[in-house]
Every structure is written in C-alpha cells, then in structure tokens.
Structure 1
Amino acid sequence: MGTTIGLVEDHTEFRQSLEFLISSFSEYSVSWSYSSVEEALDNYTETDVILLDINLPGLSGLDAIPLFKKKSASQKIIMLTIQEDDYHILEAIKSGADGYILKKSTPNKILEAIQQVCDGEAALTPMVARQLMAFIKPKKSYEPSPSLLTLREREILSLITQGMTNELIAETLFISVQTVRNHIKNIYDKLQVHSRAQVVVKAYKDKLI
C-alpha cells in the first residue's frame, strides 16, 4: 500500500499538482484531498502524513493541528505553506506539527520531508531550522533547571537533535529499536512534548544537551 497522504490546501491548482506529484510514485498515494479543515475533519481517516496549509478558509492550519491530533494522537502533520515568519513556525511546532516546509520547496524536498516524518524525524527546511534555533537560543543569564532525564535518555536526546532515526540510534547505542522507542516515550512524557520537532526545541531551549 505504501505511504498514505492527506492534503488540506485551498488553492485548487496547487492541490492538484501535489496530488499528481504524490501519485507519480508507486510508494505514495493520496488517501484524501480537501480545500478546508472542516471538510477534512468531517471525512477524516488516518493517513501516514497530512500536508496542511496554514491560510485556509474557516479554521486555519494552526487551529487544525490539535484537532487532527485529537482524532489520532499518532497522526503525522507537515505544514506546507508560504508563511516563513517566526510566529507561524513556532506556533506550528508548539501545536504539535511534525514538520514545516515552504511551498517554494522543490518536489524532491517535499517528498523527502514526507519520508523524514515517516521515519520519525523532524522535517524542517534549513531556513526554518535556522529561524527556530535562533529564536530558542538561550540567553547567557538563563539558568536551566535540573534535568529529570537519565543518562541514557540524555544520550538518546542528543542523537535525536542530530537528526538520527530510531534505527540509527539503536545501532549507535547497541540497543533494540523497541528500547529506543521506550526511552523516547519517557523523554516525551518528562519534557511534556508530543513530537520530535518539539523535543529538539525543548532540548536547545532548556540546555538539556
């Protein structure tokens, strides 16, 4: 069946071009495609990834993130938008988006982002990543609170921030993938985050690595 994609994009021409792009590869398929959040929520079925615009009629893409996550906590969401300002990037990540890429990205970059999120990574364009890191860079006077993380959890957190997948982390630390997943779940619970993108932000902001 391959990787299934849901689309929420109000510009018909761009949405159709995405459908064509995705359907051109046998390993990807478009499960559903709508022009508004309301339509998508009314007809929702879980997909591997949702590509979600921000500026939409009715509910915005930012409003939609927690609503889709409420439908399915494991739902992966990539924001695909023209918005490249700090506010929209940070709000999307804080709300639980798993990736943030721009519409001007090449088709290959869009497909790469889909694969990254499916592999458990955070999909961010270099420009978006730079903006994110610049915003969360701790001030010199900042005093981090003592970490609740164990030594092993801190090791895994450091590897996550390097962009490693669960499989690579397991190989690096000579442990099973399931053990990595268990540690990551504990990290998420302790740091009160819900996605890999959020945990990277938290790690840098609170000087956890």
Structure 2
Amino acid sequence: MNIQSLAIIEDDEKVRNYLTEQIQAYTNIPQVLSFSDGEAALSALTKNAVDIAMFDVQLPGIDGIECTKRLKMVHPRMQIMMLTVYDDTETIFSALKAGASSYMLKSTPPEKIIEAIAELHSGGSPISSQIARKVIEAFTVKEKVNEYFQELSRREQEMLELLSKGFRYKEIADKLFLSVETVRTHIRNVYEKLQVNCRIEALKKTGLL
C-alpha cells in the first residue's frame, strides 16, 4: 500500500481513535492525521493535501460533504472516502456528486475498511454492499416513474419510494434519521405538489404503483 498520507475527519473521539489505531496497525502509511471537525480539516488539508481523506458526513460546523466539495476544487487528485452511518439515497448521491469516490458504512468491519482504502488508492471506488444496492434501486425506480415524480425533491422522492414499499411514517423516520413530524411535513408537501389526498393516489400519479 503505497499511500504516504491519510486524514480521518470524525467528531466521535472513540471512533476517531479506533480508526487511527487500526490504520496504523495494519498499514504502512507514514502519516495519519485526525480532525474532530470540518473547519479544522478544511483549513489544514487545503494547505497540505493528503492522498486520502476519510470524512464522516455529519460534523460540527461544515459537514463532510461540503468539505469534500471544497477540497476537490483545490486538490482534484485527493481521494475522498465517506465513512458514515447515513445510508439514504439523498446523502449518498450528494456525497458522490461532491467528489467522493468511496462510500462506506461505519458498520463495515475494520479489515474491509483497510481493503477499501487500498482499493481507493489504486483507482477503485469501493462502496458498502448496502450502498451499492441503494444506488441500483434508485436508478431502477427512475426508469419506472414519470414526470410528476421527477418534479419532486430528492428527499420527497425517497419518502414516496419508502411509502411504496409499505413503510409507516415511524419506520421512515427511523430509517432516515428524521422526526415523525418532519416525515409528515414532507408527505403533506408531496400531496400538495401532486394535488392528491392520499398515499395510493400519490403512488399511482407518480408511477410507483
């Protein structure tokens, strides 16, 4: 593994220290940096690029996706891996669009993360299997739907997709790390945009049923 420098950007101290220990123990990377927030990472890595930066999505201040976008503008050759708990399609696509080449879940075993780091450095784009399935499902859904669906925001589309699979509001809230009230608000907005009064009508109008 011919990687000279790697940065871990993670606000959870235990996770950050654990990742640092694993990488130092099982790789020969000479320089492993760590940061607890986006601002500090952005400031340091803008001045001195690393080969690979591993970002959590949710960070104090500037989030990992925004950091990725800014760093790729300055250092387009820097490889970015998102290492997060978020598996919703909106976050996944936002990260990839910002410039991340890898998207891994924190539930991934450490040895697989080490493998993903090596694969990323060698030109691959490693992503967790659950994330790969989400990406494939997102494209599959888009082939079925119509212009009404396309006019909705990505978050609203995701809500409808989950409704079409039989998920209840509470389950959707848990899955997307939102409150039930936020889910209700999104669904209400969807109904207004589509000019429908219920789930069945919304799914029929958008081609999901």
Question: TM-score range with shorter-chain normalisation?
Answer: 0.5 to 0.7
2:83–2:103 Cα contact (<8 Å) kept:
yes
The answer on 1:89 being equivalent to 2:83 is no
Mapped contact 2:103–2:128 kept (Cα < 8 A): yes
If you compute each CA radius of gyration, which structure gives the higher value, 1 or 2? Answer: 2
Aligned equivalent of 2:119: 116
Task: Point out where structure 2 has 5 or more consecutive residues left out of the alignment.
Answer: 147-209
Q: Say whether the 8 Å CA contact 2:81–2:100 is kept in structure 1.
A: yes
Q: Which aligned pairs between 1:183-198 and structure 2 lie closer than 5 A? A: none
Query: Contact between 1:77 and 1:99, CA under 8 Å: does it hold in 2?
Result: yes
Structure 1 residue 58: deviation in Å?
Answer: 0.1
* Structure 1 residues 44-87: Cα deviation after superposition (integer angstroms, max 9, x where no partner): 22222111001100011111111111220111000000111111
Partner secondary structure for residue 124 of structure 1: coil
Quote the residue 1:11 is aligned against: 12
TM-score (norm 2): 0.64
Shift of the 85–43 alpha-carbon distance from structure 1 to 2, 3 Å rule, reads: same
Aligned AA (2:143): K
Give per-residue Cα distances to partners, 1:80-111, cap 9 Å, x unaligned: 00111111111111111100001111001111
- Tell me how far apart the structure 1 counterparts of residues 102 and 145 of structure 2 sit (CA, whole Å): 30
Cα distance in 2 for partners of 1:35, 1:140 equals: 42
Q: Confirm or deny: 8 A CA contact 1:31 1:47 kept in the other structure.
A: no
3-state SS of paired residue (2:87): coil
Q: Does 1:106 align with 2:109?
A: yes
CA contact (8 A) 2:24 2:32 kept: no
Aligned alpha-carbon RMSD (Å): 1.8
Question: Deviation at 1:28?
Answer: 2.4
Bigger share in helix: 2
Equivalent pairs counted in the alignment come to: 142
Q: For residues 26 and 52 of structure 1, what CA distance do their matches in structure 2 show? A: 19
Q: Distance in 2 between matches of 1:94 and 1:117?
A: 17
Q: Which runs of 5+ in 1 are unaligned?
A: 143-209
1:29: Cα distance to partner?
3.9
**Contact 2:81–2:101 (Cα < 8 Å) also in 1:** yes
The equivalent of 1:160 in structure 2 is: none
What is the TM-score when the length of structure 1 is the normalising length? 0.64
- Tell me by how many angstroms 1:141 deviates: 8.4
2:62 to 52, 59, 63: 59
Q: Which residue of 1 aligns with 2:24?
A: 23
> What amino acid maps onto 1:41 in structure 2?
L
Instruction: After the TM superposition, list the runs of 4 or more consecutive aligned residues in structure 1 that deviate by more than 3 angstroms.
Output: none
Q: Is the CA contact (8 Å cut-off) linking 2:37 and 2:59 kept in structure 1? A: yes
User: What SS does the corresponding residue of 2:34 show, helix, strand or coil?
Assistant: strand
> In 2, Cα distance between the equivalents of 1:21 and 1:103?
14
Q: Percent identity?
A: 29
The answer (yes or no) to whether the contact 1:98–1:122 under 8 Å persists in 2 is yes
Aligned-partner Cα distance in 2 for 1:59–1:15: 17
